[in-house]
């Protein structure tokens, strides 16, 4: 078993995140990767991962975007971050890796489970989107036309293009109206 590390960056580790190891693990061979939604808010990831940690589940908060180490827009975000995080958890003794995500993070974790079925054992998709969107720039409230939100091994994941005159706001209004 490798030395347990608690903070990670893309350059050195292949992903950006923080490990929240539980002192009293319910299942010592299982861990959970936690991802936020399109807000990319690391504080929310930390809060959720800490809640799981306090309940006996070791969690790794994975920041897939909006950090100094990752993209500031949801554009071709590498699924490779999931692979690197899961491989790290396996290297420190976890046999079964789950993954949890909300909203755009739910789409991200569902894709991760599809592309890495040998690494991911279970998925929790909270408020999942039902398809891969075009890339979005949340700060400018706009769609990045012709680009996928996610990528796998450097290649864009197929996505559903947004219709003419659609913007970031209408994508999510339409999504919530369809629920």
Distance CA 32, CA 78 (A): 19
Distance CA 121, CA 135 (A): 28
Which class is 7-177 in CATH? Answer: alpha beta
Please give the model's pTM, rounded to 2 decimal places.
0.83
| Spatial CB neighbours of 153, under 8 Å, sequence gap ≥ 6 | 80
Q: Give the tens place of pLDDT for each residue, 24-33.
A: 999 999 999 9
Percent of the chain with pLDDT over 70: 88
| Spatial CB neighbours of 51, under 8 Å, sequence gap ≥ 6 | none
User: What is residue 41's three-state secondary structure?
Assistant: coil
Which pLDDT does position 179 carry in this prediction? 42
Instruction: Say if CB 142 and CB 136 are below 8 A apart.
Output: yes
Q: Is 164's pLDDT higher than 60?
A: no
Which pLDDT does position 148 carry in this prediction? 93
Q: Is 174's pLDDT higher than 70?
A: no
Domain boundaries in the chain? 7-177
Mean pLDDT for the stretch of residues 141-155: 90
Pairing of strands 30-35, 96-102: parallel
């Amino acid at each position: 078993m490798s030395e347990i590390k608690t903070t990670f960056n893309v350059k050195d580790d292949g992903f950006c995140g923080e490990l929240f190891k539980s002192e009293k693990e319910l299942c010592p061979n299982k861990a959970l990767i936690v991802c936020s939604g399109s807000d990319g808010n690391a504080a929310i990831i930390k809060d959720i991962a800490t809640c799981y940690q306090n309940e006996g589940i070791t969690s790794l908060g994975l920041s897939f975007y909006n950090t100094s180490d990752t993209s500031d827009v949801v554009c071709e975000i590498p699924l490779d971050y999931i692979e690197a995080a899961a491989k790290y958890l396996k290297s420190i003794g976890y046999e079964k890796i789950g993954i949890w995500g909300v909203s755009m993070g739910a789409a991200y974790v569902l894709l991760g489970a599809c592309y890495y079925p040998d690494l991911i054992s279970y998925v929790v998709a909270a408020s999942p989107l039902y398809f891969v969107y075009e890339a979005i720039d949340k700060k400018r409230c706009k769609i990045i036309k012709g680009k996928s939100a996610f990528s796998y091994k450097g290649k864009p994941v197929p996505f559903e293009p947004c219709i003419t005159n659609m913007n970031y706001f209408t994508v999510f209004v339409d999504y919530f109206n369809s629920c």
